[in-house]
Structure 1
């Protein structure tokens, strides 16, 4: 073997490692996709690792290699859901835009999550409705600091006269309820509307109405003109 051949870098192991990583990522994604749906449909107690593995096209033993317990899988699913939700909450901290634009973007992002990730939204709602017995500490640890940060943004807007005085905490609670209902209660909506699923037009109409309601709640009433 020549010296140049000896010094030639070996690419095969690196390429094989990359393929293994891609395969692992795909397998984890497939597992999580099936897990969030089954947990949302059947609840934690009603779901089994074996059923999730079957839906993902794996053996139970293979699934347990990636997630050693059902609770570890459940927590990972909720981690992903909450992280995506908090990513949208972070939109409120944009000081470079006016309140109206920021709130519209936030409502739009929340409704998009309800449209694109309905199982995740429903699972999170089920956990919270049940008293968050398995995920409550994570919710407090992750959600509370960002909520306080967003409330501080509202208080800044109020102090600058950009919006009317408002209870920011309850305004955010209201926005969450309105936007998440399009995932959590979509079945009821579809029954009332006599259709199989909500359409993009339904979400566009909801976005406009919710945005208009929120902007009306923060509008500044002009000061009365002095008489005489």
Structure 2
């Protein structure tokens, strides 16, 4: 019995340590960038010995890439709705909800990604050229199908995706600005829901994808808030 419990205990401790390291790394990389971050600082923020970091992540680059991969995998998962949605109202609506929730829960990870890309992606350029490119091509194919089916206006799918990314990730990358304009307070649960509804209304109406009844429901929901 004890022999069976030990591996699970070690596995749980490993999982918890990796979680602490990645959370700390997100914060440090977000604040200091890749160049300014050190493994010692990340260890201090995580409350772990530096040796533990090197056990799980041998180099700062390997840890950085894991942070970037984690946020990107969250974004990929958010887009799973594309493949099963009946159309853009359901697919893009659920995608916007999921992306904004990620921005709410993991703002530091989004900032790490944004900083990396703004600096010409010196560490993850290969990731952009492979995983991101393949994912984008797949989403474009889905949007083009919706256009062919007459479910939305014939807009450029690539620029629609850029707009979705910019809008939803704004709530993470510029959360300090949003909080300042909100009287110095983080958005409340009700304000987050209102923000999601507003973004969906603007985007879906803009591409001609919201039926009149749905648009009316969104208007009513916003007025109620």
Deviations for 1:44-96, whole angstroms, at most 9, x for unmatched residues? 1111101111121211112211111111111111111111111112222224x
Asked whether the 8 Å contact 1:190–1:198 carries over to 2, the reply is: yes
Tell me the residue number matched to 1:39: 29
Match of 2:94 among 105, 115, 118: 105
2 CA distance for matches of 1:62 and 1:192? 41
Shift of 1:23: 0.6
Which contiguous aligned blocks of 4+ residues in structure 1 show a shift greater than 3 angstroms?
A: none
Let me know the Cα RMSD of the aligned residues: 1.4
Deviation of the 1:43 alpha carbon: 0.8
Asked if 1:132 is matched to 2:121, the reply is yes
Deviation at 1:149, TM superposition (A): 1.1
Structure 2 CA distance for aligned equivalents of residues 91 and 145 of structure 1: 17
The 5 A counterparts of 1:191-202 are 191-202=180-191
Q: How many residues align?
A: 209
Looking at CA atoms only, which structure, 1 or 2, has the larger radius of gyration? 1
Q: Given the alignment, which residue of 171, 174, 194 partners 1:185? A: 174
Aligned equivalents of 1:83 and 1:140: distance in 2?
16
Bigger CA drift: 110-119 or 50-59? 50-59
Q: CA deviation at 1:205?
A: 2.1
In structure 2, list runs of 5 or more residues that go unmatched: 210-225
Give the TM-score taking structure 1 as reference length: 0.87
1:200 Cα offset (Å): 2.2
Is structure 2 residue 7 aligned with structure 1 residue 17? Answer: yes
Are the counterparts in 2 of residues 93 and 149 from structure 1 also a CA contact under 8 Å?
Answer: no
Normalising by the residue count of structure 2, what TM-score does the alignment of the two structures yield?
A: 0.88
Contact map agreement 2:87 2:146 (CA 8 A) in 1: no
